[in-house]
A and B are shown apart, each in its own frame.
Chain A
Amino acid sequence: MRKETPSQTVGPFYSIGLTRRGMNVMATESTQGERIRIEGQVLDGDGQPVPDAMVEIWQANAYGRYNHPDDKQEKPLDQTFTGWGRSGTDKDCFYRFETIKPGPVPGPDDSVQAPHCNVAVFARGMLVHAFTRIYFSDEQANDADPVLASIKNKKRRRTLIANREEEDGRAVYRFDIRLQGENETVFFDM
């Protein structure tokens, strides 16, 4: 039995090795599903936007299937969609993803999880990345989602809901990640 290699920060210069052009564009013209943009800022304990944060997301396709061999559901795979994206923060300290709305996926005990993206947050100053999730404000299924329900403080559940806005007829979801503070985002141990 070996022990895990310890985590370390990505530091301020992660873009050299990690963020390449197009990594935050996850959907092509032919990807199935509703095209959406997800964007937001990562905020520190003073409420200041973090200029050197990086966000990665992993999501199911529009049918609710992950592009991974351990997802053995009979739902269709979409060959144009891996479900993974990475975004650094730009000069305005925003991250953004061009993707599609994921479908619902199975949860524990025959439950169904509401559509969501799985999120890993990195930054200079973060010695370990933090896991969270993005849910969508226009999804009724949020009310029955087992992971949201497992957050005992109901007010905190709201920190995981991205707010839907329309911009030039396209859906844009705003999702800020608060590393600390009154409305600190729920982060998971998983």
Chain B
Amino acid sequence: MDIKVYNPRDWKSHPPYRFAGYGSSIKRGPLKRLVPIKQTLSEITGPLFSDIKLEPEETDLTRNADTGKEAMGERIIVVGKVMDEDERPIPNTLIEIWQANAAGRYHHPVDQHNAPLDPNFTGAGRCVTNEQGDYRFLTIKPGAYPWLNHTNAWRPAHIHLSLFGPSFVTRLVTQFFFPGDPLIPLDPIFNSVPTKSGRQRLMASYAHDVTEPEYALGYRFDIVLRGRKATPFEEQR
């Protein structure tokens, strides 16, 4: 059977499994060399969620806590395009996001940060990209929060994203950051990305064309997943 394989993972774009500045990576990253395998039908297929039924409010985190009330904080609109390395848009792909509230607290039992929870904010959202690969969420700008990685450690404001793309190998979980945040250069998770250009690709940009007058500021964050080799290989001999 002919299969069209995907480009290899670009390891220069990704953090190493273990990064000295990020304490909990040390015991949780594989130590042995990864075993290279040829992509087969198992790798070039993957979940597409074509039957998924999303509620419209899943893209509106300011009002999706099912309380009928609006979340506290600075409203923001986040838009972007999901594409592959050849800039081909990836339509109909599921994006899941999660984040802290405006005070820097997650709606999660493990988060014991002494900052207020917002009963009107769960911090979870989902959407599917449109035919042009575009997505849009309305949410609240997350707050910074402390963590125990080192003395006086604070995570910069960020939003987590999870994407699938068209195959098992295109899977990506990432997070993006907001321009001008002074905590970013101090953040070991951000700094785990080995190149400056790679770190830059985790930054959202302010988008005045997305900003809605007297309502909410706009930010743009484009996402690039692994692309597909142009030529089909006959089982890559």
Contact = CB atoms under 8 A, between A and B. Distances in A.
Interface residues of B, number: 82
B213 to A, nearest CB: 30
B83 interface: yes
Q: Give the interface centre of B16, B28, B110, B125 by most chain A CB atoms within 10 Å.
A: B28
A107 B28 contact: no
Interface string A63-101: 000111011110000000011100000000000000000
B208 to A, nearest CB: 23
Interface string B23-36: 01111111110111
A116 to B, nearest CB: 7
Interface string B79-122: 00001111100000000111000000011101100000000001
A126 B35 contact: no
Tell me which of A2, A8, A60, A128 has the highest count of chain B C-beta atoms within 10 A of its own C-beta: A8
A189 B36 contact: yes
Interface in B42-69: 42-48, 51
Nearest to B107: A16
A5 B42 contact: no
A190 B236 CA distance: 13
Range class of the A interface residue count = 35 or more
B227 to A, nearest CB: 8
B224 A3 contact: yes
Nearest to B5: A190
Interface of A: 1-18, 44-46, 50, 52, 56, 58, 60, 66-68, 70-73, 82-84, 105-110, 113, 116, 118, 120, 122-131, 133, 147, 150-151, 179-180, 184-190
Q: Closest 9 A-B residue pairs measured CB to CB?
A: A17-B98, A125-B24, A84-B47, A68-B45, A125-B28, A45-B27, A127-B15, A189-B34, A66-B45
